[in-house]
Each structure stands twice: as structure tokens, then as C-alpha cells.
Structure 1
Amino acid sequence: MKITTKSNFTGQWERQFWSLHKMMTKNQNSVHFGFLLLTLSIISCQPNTISFNSFEPELWKADAQSCKGYRNEVIMDMEAEFDQFIGMSETELITYLGSPDKTLLYTRGQKFFSYNINCTKEASAKSQLRVRFSALDYVNEVLILD
């Protein structure tokens, strides 16, 4: 005759094992999630570098009075890359184009940066690169005014 008994110890051990397993699985998921968040935040903090083929930002900034002629030479080639300026913040734009020659304030918090393209004293003959910012200080339009 075979007697089988189930001890109370085995049942307690199984319950403890499964509760410990459940707890470890939850902790593993939270550790994985935390690691994923940390990785994404590090990647998102990397600076977004833009390169321009049509002009050199340092030469553009050096020709601040536009009397050296560099701005006038490259402006037509720059026009093909105006879409790269869209969405830039004010500080990002200043790193590429330098401080504007004029800042114009407009309604609803909008503003314009104006960069002279040619060197002339006559206001009617001046060409300008005009950059419009939204109320949130992001570029939303780039124009050449003759």
C-alpha cells in the first residue's frame, strides 16, 4: 500500500517561489523600461548639426556689413537650402547667420530678423534676407527681399 501525502511545506515553498518570481519579473520590466528611458534621453540630447553646401556660416558672419560681397555671392545658392532653416530656434539661427542687422517686431508675438545682402546706403536698393519667427521663436519663413 502506497501512501502519498502532500506536505504543507511544499505548498508554502511553491507560493513563495511564484510570488518571488512574479516580483522579479516586475522589477526586470521596470529596470528595462528605466534603461530604455535613459537611453532615449541621452540620444535626444545630442545636438542636431546641420551642414550647408551653399555657404560658410563663418564667412557669412564675417561679412556683417555686407561690403565684402560674400553675402551677395552666395544668396542665390542659399535659396535652395532655405528649408533647412525652417523649424530652427532663434539661438540656432544666430549660430549659423550671426546676429541680425535688424529685428522687427510684429503682431501676436512674431518677429523678423533682417540680414543685409548688399552694401549700399540707399534704402530702396538694399537687398535683405528676412527670417520670420513664430510666436514660439521658431523659424517659419525665409525670404529674399529686393
Structure 2
Amino acid sequence: MIKRLFVVQVLSLALLSSCGVPEEFQAFNSKAWKEDRYACKGQRAELVDDFEQIRKDLYGQKEYVVRNLLGKPDQEELLKRSERIYYYYIETGDQCADRTKMSGANRIELRLNSLAKVSEINYRYPDQVKKLE
């Protein structure tokens, strides 16, 4: 009985820890990012510098980490071999009026490979984003 209870506790702890956000992303204001869906409130534009701080650490992270950190993508594209691109707008644009169509507004394009790990992170207009050296 005690052995079974111990196993249940260990499994519960493992499950809870797998759903969170790794420590290196704790400083990022995930809540503000998620609350500004489609970047219509203008909050994400203010968080781009903070996103740049964690950008390199996102490479190789699993999909659940991305979703816990950035929330559901504003738009998503399914590619061949189960690869996907998540789109997160970082400036207001036409997507605020019609969320069913892709907007020309600047956005983060986050590619997930067939293993559901981040393999590429780009901006639609990279020259408009100040990157950290």
C-alpha cells in the first residue's frame, strides 16, 4: 500500500513538472504575452526585447513548453511530415479585424519539426526588430 502511494506521488510530481515552463523562461512575462492575442492591444510589441532574451533558449524545446510560455498560436500552418509553423503577431494589423486571414503585420514564425521541437525562429520582417548580439 505504501509502495503504491509512493509511486502515485512520484508520477504526479513528474506529470506536474512536465507541464510547466523551464526556469530559464521564468523572467519572461508570459501572462502579458498570452493576454494580447493577435497583438491587438500592443503589449507584445513591448515584449519583443524580452522575447529576444529567451529566443536562443527556445531552440530544441518541446511544443508543450512553447504553448505554456507563449500560449496558443495566433495562426498555425501544417507542413509535410508533421512539421508545423506557429505564428505569433507582434504588432497590430488586419488580423485584429479578421482573425481568419493572415495579416501582413510583423510576426514571429516558430517552426516545429516532426518531433515537435523548435527548429527555427524567424520574424516576418526581421529588419524591423532590434536583435541582441
Which range, TM-score by smaller chain?
0.5 to 0.7
Residue 6 of structure 1 aligns with which residue?
Answer: none
Alignment partner for residue 73 of structure 1, among 42, 46, 49? 46
- Summarize the Cα distance change of 1:54–1:130 in structure 2 as closer, same or farther, 3 Å threshold: farther
Alignment identity in percent? 25
Q: Separation in 2 of the partners of 1:145 and 1:53?
A: 26
Q: Distance in 2 between the 1:53 and 1:92 partners?
A: 12
TM superposition shift of 1:75: 1.0
Partner Cα distance (1:53, 1:73) in 2: 17
TM (norm. structure 2) is 0.67
Decide which of 29, 35, 38 is 1:56's aligned counterpart: 29
1:118 paired with 2:91, answer: yes
TM-score by length of 1: 0.61
Is contact 1:117-1:127 (8 Å) kept? yes
Cα distance per residue 1:55-85 (max 9 Å; x no partner): 3001100111312211111213322321211
How do 1:93-108 residues align onto structure 2 when only pairs under 5 Å count?
A: 93-108=66-81
Maintained 8 Å contact 1:54/1:74: no
Cα distance in 2 for partners of 1:56, 1:109 equals 30
Going from structure 1 to structure 2, the CA distance change for 1:54 and 1:69 (only over 3 Å counts) comes to farther
Q: Which position in structure 2 is the counterpart of 1:135?
A: 114
Deviations 1:8-31 (A, max 9, x none): xxxxxxxxxxxxxxxxxxxxxxxx
Q: Distance in 1 between matches of 2:83 and 2:62?
A: 13
CA RMSD of aligned residues (A): 2.4
What runs of 5+ residues in structure 1 fail to find an aligned partner? 1-40
Please give the alpha-carbon distance, in whole angstroms, between the structure 2 residues aligned to 1:140 and 1:100.
16
User: In 2, distance between residues paired with 1:79 and 1:116?
Assistant: 15
Runs of 4+, deviation exceeding 2 Å: 45-55
Structure 2: 5+ residue stretches without partners = 1-9, 96-102, 126-133
Q: Which has the higher contact order (CA 8 A, sep 6+)?
A: 2
Higher Rg: 1
8 Å Cα contact 1:54-1:81 kept in structure 2: no
Q: Counterpart of 2:120 in structure 1: which amino acid?
A: E
